[in-house]
């Protein structure tokens, strides 16, 4: 399901951006087009290579060009991949040793025992916190940086304050601003409504 959501967000971004590029191409003279974007010359942007790169790049917002690094640091990639394996194993250990036994012991009906239910939830809270932190670190820090390095992708700001719900998912926030907030403002939707739609 996560993969399907990511693909949907990317395709929406690809369609919106290309629609904007076509509108720009129609509104200005053809001589000025190359200064805006290398892809506006072909208003339908049928370059399959740019779509494939975008679909595997660690971003949700399509652009005709991205900041790029010079080369791939192979030693750094191996180091990050080893960390990814270690932390994934650590998550599996926590799940098998702490979470699964608590869940298995909680499968019988609580029979109205509220204190027992609260105790089970509290026992699950600490291992769940560690698993959540490991998943965040593995996905947003290790996996996305490995992918960015392999693709020579230069923009590496995948998250800000991990403890802050408003800034934790930087790619999703950028997508919401670009493809929900700004189009709402362009269509004369009030700013308060646009902000509330972006915050959903």
pLDDT of residue 142: 94
Mean pLDDT of 144-168: 80
In DSSP terms, which residues pair with 68 in a beta bridge? 153
At 58-85, the pLDDT tens digits run 988 898 888 888 899 999 999 999 999 9
Q: Which residues lie below 8 Å from residue 147, measured CB to CB, with a gap of 6+? A: 56, 57, 58, 153
Q: What is the dihedral of CA 158, 80, 164, 16, to 10 degrees?
A: 20
pLDDT of residue 89: 96
- pLDDT tens profile 176-191: 888 888 888 888 877 7
Over residues 27-49, the mean pLDDT reads: 57
Percent of the chain clearing pLDDT 70 (strictly above): 80
Tokens of 185: 């403002």
Give the pLDDT confidence score for residue 162 in this predicted structure.
Answer: 64
Q: Choose among 63, 87, 68, 44: nearest CA to 151.
A: 68
* Cβ-proximal residues to 56 (8 Å cutoff; 6+ apart), any chain: 147, 151
pLDDT at 43 over 80: no
CA 159 to chain centre: 9
The DSSP output letter for 46 is -
Give the whole-angstrom CA distance, residue 60 versus residue 14.
9
Helix (H, G, I), strand (E, B) or coil at 17: helix
Closest by Cα among 136, 153, 135 to 61? 153
Give the residue-averaged pLDDT of 96-110: 82
Alpha carbon distance 71, 172 (integer Å) = 27
**pLDDT tens-digit readout, 5-19:** 989 999 999 988 888
């Amino acid at each position: 399901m996560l993969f399907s959501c990511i693909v949907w967000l990317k395709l929406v971004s690809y369609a919106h951006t290309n629609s904007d590029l076509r509108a720009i191409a129609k509104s200005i003279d053809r001589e000025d087009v190359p200064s805006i974007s290398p892809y506006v010359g072909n208003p339908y942007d049928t370059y399959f290579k740019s779509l494939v790169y975008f679909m595997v790049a660690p971003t949700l917002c399509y652009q005709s060009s991205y900041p790029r690094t010079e080369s791939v640091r192979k030693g750094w990639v191996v180091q990050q991949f080893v960390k990814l394996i270690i932390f994934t194993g650590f998550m599996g250990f926590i799940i098998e040793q702490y979470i699964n036994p608590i869940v298995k012991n909680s499968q019988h009906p609580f029979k109205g025992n509220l204190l027992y239910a609260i105790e089970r939830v509290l026992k699950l809270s600490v291992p769940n916190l560690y698993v959540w932190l490991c998943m965040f670190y593995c996905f947003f820090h290790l996996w996305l940086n490995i992918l960015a390095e392999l693709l020579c992708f230069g923009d590496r700001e995948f998250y800000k304050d991990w403890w802050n719900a408003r800034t934790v998912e930087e790619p999703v926030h950028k997508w919401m601003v670009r493809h929900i907030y700004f189009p709402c403002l362009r269509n004369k939707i009030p700013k308060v409504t646009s902000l509330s739609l972006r915050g959903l």
